[in-house]
């Protein structure tokens, strides 16, 4: 049994899924690999996610130390960017492997149809 931030996990894979699991967290992280993005930029890339869900997922990822939220207030309008933390960047190989496997599945499904 593993205990991280007061939560108990039965194995190391459940720790990983506890942090990045869910429908939208990996998508958010995947888009942040390339560069920091503003909230609206993320929402445009993920246009089917509701604003509430996106906000909650961003907050969860920030609380887990995977992303950081940076507020720029020097000049109006207020600008907020999200980016991977150094801890979050350790997920890049995993996220790329997940994306590669997704491509594999898509290609195999297309071949079945043809």
**pLDDT tens digits along 39-94:** 999 999 998 999 999 999 999 999 999 999 999 887 777 889 999 999 999 999 99
pLDDT at 113 over 60: no
Domains of the chain: 24-113 (1.10.10.10)
Q: What was the pLDDT predicted at 3?
A: 84
Three-class SS state of 68: strand
Q: What was the pLDDT predicted at 78?
A: 81
**pLDDT tens digits along 4-28:** 878 888 998 998 998 898 889 999 9
Residue 4's contacts (CB-CB under 8 Å, 6 or more residues apart) are: 15, 18
- Please give the full DSSP string across 2-18, using - where no structure is assigned: EEETTEEESSHHHHHHH
User: Cα separation of 48 and 37, whole Å?
Assistant: 17
Q: What was the pLDDT predicted at 25?
A: 96
Q: What was the pLDDT predicted at 111?
A: 67
Strands 79-84 and 67-72: antiparallel
């Amino acid at each position: 049994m593993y205990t991280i931030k007061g939560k108990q996990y039965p194995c190391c894979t459940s720790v990983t899924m506890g942090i990045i699991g869910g429908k939208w967290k990996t998508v958010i992280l995947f888009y942040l690999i390339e560069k920091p993005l503003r909230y609206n930029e993320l929402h445009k890339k993920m246009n089917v996610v509701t604003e509430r869900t996106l906000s909650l997922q961003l907050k969860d990822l920030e609380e887990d130390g995977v992303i950081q939220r940076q507020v720029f207030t020097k000049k109006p309008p207020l600008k907020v960017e999200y980016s991977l933390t150094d801890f979050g960047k350790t997920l890049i190989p995993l996220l790329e492997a997940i994306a590669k496997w997704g491509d594999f599945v898509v290609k195999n499904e297309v071949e079945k149809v043809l």
